[in-house]
Amino acid sequence: MSMRDIFENSPFGGGGGQRRQIPALKMKKSVWILFGLLLVLAIVIPATATFYTDMLWFKARGLSQVFWTRLIPQWILFGVASLIAFAIFSVNWLKARRSAVKDLAASLPEGSEEMPLRASALFVMIISGVMAVMNGFGVRSEWMTVLQFLNRTPFGKTEPIFGKEVAFYVFDMPFLSLMQSWLLGTLVTALLGIGLIFFMAALPKMREENRFYMPGHARAHLSVLGAITVLAWGAGLWLERFNLLLSEGGVVFGAGYTDIHARLFAINVMIVLSAIVAALLVANIYRRTWRLAIAGGILLIGASFILRGIVPGLVQKYIVEPNEFDKERTYIEYNIAGTLDAYGLNSLKIVNFTPEDFITPQDIENEPDTIRNIRLWDYSPLLRAFKQLQEIRTYYDFPNVDIARYTFNGAYRQVMLAARELDSEQIQNQTWVNRHLEFTHGFGIVMNFVNEVDRAGKPVLVIQDLPPKISVPLEIAEPRIYFGEKSNPYSLVRTDVLEFDYPEGDANVRTTYQGTGGVPVGSLFSRIMFALRFRDSQILFTNSITPGSRILMYRSIRERLETVAPFLLYDTDPYLSIIGGRLVWIQDAYTATNRYPYSNPVSVGGDRQKINYIRNSVKALVDAYDGSLFFYVSDKDDPLLKTWAKIFPGLFTPIEDANPEFCSQIRYPNSLFLIQSEIYRTYHMSDPNTFYNKEDVWRLSNQAKTGSQNAYYVIMRLAGEKKAEFALIAPFMPVGRDNMIAWMAGRSDAPNYGDLLVYQFPKQKLIYGPSQVSALIDQDPEISAQLSLWSQRGSDVIRGDILVIPLGDSLLYVQPLYLKAENSDLPELKRVIVSSGGKVAWAETVDDAISTLLSRLAGTTGARLNAPLKTAEKPVATTPLVVGENARDLAQQAGQHFEAAQRASREGDWARYGEELEKLRAVLEALMNETK
């Protein structure tokens, strides 16, 4: 068979008076119908069920506008892209097909009755439609990019190279890049199709004449479309100019000297050359030759190789590297300014702070809120203690421990708490009824003060047991937890089966869900749809569902929020709070982008994503009982959030409209704080020369014993403030050294919420870092000997994190120490280690440990410790009276004053404690004089 026969029998033409029959079409019609039905059942119906049930879920939450705003733009984008692509494909391919058929007809012998098949045009239309649909699906997922462009909000800042607004890079560039890449891909596909049609039509003649052949109309068609394609490629080069400001190849992130003076020039030349090549392609229509276009293409490739491949390397090696700082200085300044702005560090307040060498009794007396809230329980030991003491049944679990603060009877107290959630995987009898109808929720919480320990070394619980027993002025009107951190399967509630509530004696307490969460599932159609969605026929056939039944889905906090607002980044640690008598989850959410000019990127989400701009713009709230969702705006000035608020006008609520109790429980997010700390440890060097030489890079403290990151929440009084507040703090150390150089604080209480402060220490003074304090502890003979003894007895010694606690003008270091028996998983807090001024002490309680530490400091330190304490209630004698004249009497007096000081510390009477220490010092001095 000749190539002409092949073409004539193809869908593009050929065929004589007799048409060929395709054997495959003889298949029985019923087989095709069955195949079609199976395809519908396998794809269309499950997709429809998911769509319908999601629509019901959004409607039940009052978020129908969000649902349709997310859905409709996707299909509009798909439809527009598909229609334009179909027009490009069909117009070009049909034109090429007509020309090819004419060429083929002209090459047939005179008098031939062969005519092209009319079905060939239909085939081209079908292929155009299929390719257009694929094209539309390729851009459908970019709906957020398009909506952000259409609703963009200015940042109010311009970049220093091209003078463009930052919003151009964040909103315009992604949209323009999407349009350029889509158009280029569509044109290339059209070109390939045209080339294939013309090649198949010309192939018989090329075989006969044994030479390359292309009709003039084919050359003209390909030349015009090729010119447009080259111009679309050139548009990509124009956009690439701006992407230089997001370059990662220089001494800093962003365009450097080589980028501006070599790569930018090369791109501009390439843009001009692309326009020349396009013009040469158009000239092919008249000159009937490809030589000029081919020459232009070779010039384009050669220029790209030289200007973009060789020249930048030469400029970098011979111009920049010998004079790198001088050449890059300006761009380093751009990078420092852009990075500090993008991470919200440009408004950070710096306080030069010189701490005293050691704490004094007056420091302890002046900071009662700080001392009362020193955290003795690390998260991991406390979680293990909660699990051992309060899980009660195997199907309960405490996924995490959260930290919070409340005011009880006028006292500002820091607490730790955990939710007793249901773990459906631990249900002993894994029947369908148990998993979906009976065991539906967790119950209650457990809470303890951060600083309280009972005589056995266990946490003192202020909320515990089932039902909750509460010993603090808090009310939990609804302790049931249907929505939490764990991913439990769907539950059917308000059925004929009473839900398990909590165990009580030999029987179990039962309940029926009374909340508004979930979706009605009483109708037969809804049951069919949910059965298809979850691929669970039991939903359809169970007799337990009533007309008022509801189905709870999207039950984990993260999944629930991401379903509604997938465009936000979510913190890894939602935290539990009690607001208005209800258990609620607070989730920090962020707006972020990786397109902020000259801002250094960081990796988030386990290195899965890079960002270089972030704001904690949203505080999300999820009710643990009914799953209600609220997105409160915590940064109303953020341009990204303003853009999303335009797109979803009913989704966000001003935080001023939130419950005041909610506002009192929000906190500076730990994840954001660590990102900002990571940036600031380098970018605190505002001088370009210092930054370039990396002379003063800091590091965050990693606890050597536990490996945890040393950023923690404390209640403390910042320097210059009148009252204690809840803050997140982290110490910094110089890279390669262990002494502390600064610490950063993120404030959580109104009216200073969100403020960042950095207390910088003088470089010429030694301030102990956590690892140095750890070394002091290891060197203490008493502590070392006791730890060895415990280890020899088979106990597992667990050393907690070392907390650096600012106390007035001093620093106190605190480390809890736990013991865990070999045959037990319950850690017990046995000692509290404290340090200041290079001295170390330990005891069973914080007060006793501080008392011992102050006693040791009193014998070795100077005037500051010996200064009198001044209180409003009791004037302190500056020269204590010493009674007795011989050594025995003096020794007896010393013992009495020491015991009195110990009693005062246990009672928290630090004024009397200071008086007794003063008297003890005077007695010891007299004793020393007596023995000389």
Give the tens place of pLDDT for each residue, 313-352. 999 999 999 999 999 999 999 999 999 999 999 989 999 9
Averaged pLDDT, 502-527: 91
Report pLDDT for 865.
45
Go through 783-807 and write b for each residue having 16 or more CB atoms within 10 A of its CB, e for each that does not.
beebbeebeeeebebbbbbbbbbbb
pLDDT at residue 913 is higher than 80: no
> Which of the two residues, 71 and 17, has the higher pLDDT score?
71
* pLDDT over 90 (residue 860): no
Q: Where is pLDDT greater, at 218 or 500?
A: 500
Query: DSSP string covering 739-792, please?
Result: S--EEEEEE-STTSTT-EEEEEPPTTS----HHHHHHHHHH-HHHHHHHHHHHH
Overall average pLDDT of the 130-151 stretch: 94
Parallel, antiparallel or unpaired: strands 421-422 and 839-843: unpaired
What is the reported pLDDT for 882? 39
pLDDT at 213 over 90: no
Residue 654: what pLDDT?
Answer: 95
Q: 268-286, pLDDT tens digit by residue?
A: 999 999 999 999 888 877 7
State mean pLDDT over 884-913. 66
Binned at pLDDT 50, 70 and 90, residue 609 comes out as confident
pLDDT at residue 8 is higher than 50: no
Give the pLDDT confidence score for residue 114 in this predicted structure. Answer: 47
* Residues 6 or more apart whose Cβ sits within 8 Å of residue 674: 700, 709, 711, 730
Mean pLDDT value of segment 111-125: 61
Q: Omega before 467 cis (within 30°)?
A: yes
Q: What are the residues whose beta carbons fall under 8 Å from the beta carbon of 669, sequence distance 6 or more? A: 571, 588, 590, 616
User: What does the pLDDT average to over 548-570?
Assistant: 95
pLDDT at 706 over 60: no
**Overall average pLDDT of the 71-81 stretch:** 94
Average pLDDT rounded to a whole number, residues 623-641: 96
The 3-state DSSP class for residue 440 equals coil
pLDDT above 70: residue 205: no
- Note the pLDDT of residue 408: 93
Give Dmax (Cα) for the chain.
144
Contacts 24+ apart (CB under 8 A), 274-277: 274/230, 274/231, 274/233, 274/234, 274/237, 274/300, 275/231, 275/234, 277/227, 277/230
- The DSSP bridge pattern shows strands 582-593 and 575-579 to be antiparallel
- So what's the pLDDT on residue 922? 76
Confidence of residue 896 (pLDDT cuts 50, 70, 90): confident
**pLDDT value for 299:** 87
668: phi > 0 → left, psi -120 to 50 → alpha, else beta; which?
beta
Q: What is the C-alpha radius of gyration for the chain, rounded to an integer number of angstroms? A: 37
Of 153 and 203, the structure prediction assigns the larger pLDDT to 153
Per-residue pLDDT of 50-66, as tens digits, reads 999 999 999 999 999 99
Cβ(211)–Cβ(246) below 8 Å: no
Please count the CA atoms within 13 angstroms of the CA of 215 that sit on its side-chain side: 23
Cα separation of the two ends of the chain: 126
Band of pLDDT at residue 634, cut at 50, 70 and 90: very high
Q: What pLDDT digit, counting tens, does each position of 863-889 carry?
A: 344 443 333 333 333 334 333 445 666
For 24-28, 231-235, 471-475, 495-499, which range has the lowest pLDDT when averaged over its residues?
24-28
Q: Which amino acid is at 382?
A: L
**What is the model's pLDDT at position 856?**
87
Both structure tokens of 400: 């995490």
Closest CA to 109 of 16, 248, 221, 177: 16
Q: Facing residues of 810 across strands?
A: 807
State CA 843 to chain mean position distance: 40
Question: What's the rounded Cα separation, in Å, for the pair 524 and 652?
Answer: 35
Residue 707 pLDDT > 50:
no
- What pLDDT score was predicted for residue 209? 65
Contacts of 101 (CB under 8 A, 6+ apart): 12, 13, 116, 120, 201
pTM: 0.85
Residues 533-550 have a mean pLDDT of: 93
- Say which DSSP state 21 is in: P
- Flag whether pLDDT at 417 surpasses 50: yes
| pLDDT given at position 927 | 65
Give the model's pLDDT for residue 701. Answer: 80
Lowest mean pLDDT among 61-65, 393-397, 676-680, 924-928: 924-928
Nearest 5°: phi and psi at 47? -65, -40
The Cβ of residue 828 has, within 10 Å, a number of other Cβ atoms equal to 19
pLDDT at 872: 31
Environment class of 890 (CB within 10 Å of its CB; exposed 0-12, middle 13-18, buried 19+): buried
Please state the separation of Cα 618 from the chain's center in Å. 13
Residue 334's H or E segment, with its range, is helix 324-342
Averaged pLDDT score across all residues of the chain:
86
Q: Which two tokens stand for residue 30?
A: 């019923």
Mean pLDDT of 142-148: 95
